[in-house]
Amino acid sequence: MAEEKKKKAKKKTANKKVARKKTAKKTVKKKSAKAKKTPAKKVDSKKAHSDIEKKARKVSEKDLKDLIGREEEVIEKLKKVPGAFEKLVSRMKLLFEMLKDFWKGEYREVPWYTIAIAAAAVLYFINPFDIIFDIIPGAGYIDDVVVIGFVYKAIHEDLKTYCKFKGYDPDLFF
């Protein structure tokens, strides 16, 4: 009798696991189908600029420390960017490198605003649910390009100075 109850309990547990797996697969399929059906959104550059400016005003030293601690996440995200966005990748690497050098105290010839807006841009980049979700193949990075382009325009002189400090050719990034 006790063995029979154990068998029934095991069978129920096994059935629940199978049901959860099926539900999870359906959920993934639904999300994938939605992503495929979702038309590419037009990027509202004014909204993107406004969002980055707001985020930059809120960036603290703690946020910068946390971001530096997420280096592996940034690297992994950069690996996923399609080759057509090569300039985006090189620009993100430069921004992140400058942030790390600032944090380590190796490069301080830059105003806090530059660090804050660069940090906001990197945080925006690693967020998969920004204006255009990054799961949309190719199109998901268009808003990132717009944001990074805006940030580069806003702090281009500081970035050029940083390139000189590092011995980099600024033409590779601008």
Band of pLDDT at residue 10, cut at 50, 70 and 90? low
Domain definitions of the chain by residue range: 1-37, 43-172
Give the 3-state secondary structure of residue 21. Answer: helix
Q: Would the pTM count as exceeding 0.85?
A: no
Q: Which of the pair, 83 or 150, is modelled with greater confidence?
A: 150
Q: The tokens 């010839």 sit on which residue? A: 109
Which range is least confidently modeled, 2-11, 55-64, 84-93? 2-11
Contact 43, 142 (CB under 8 A): yes
Q: The tokens 């359906």 sit on which residue? A: 26
Per-residue pLDDT, averaged over 115-134, amounts to: 77
Per-residue pLDDT, averaged over 115-119, amounts to: 96
Q: 173 CB contacts (<8 Å, ≥6 apart)? A: 87, 90, 91, 94, 152, 159, 163
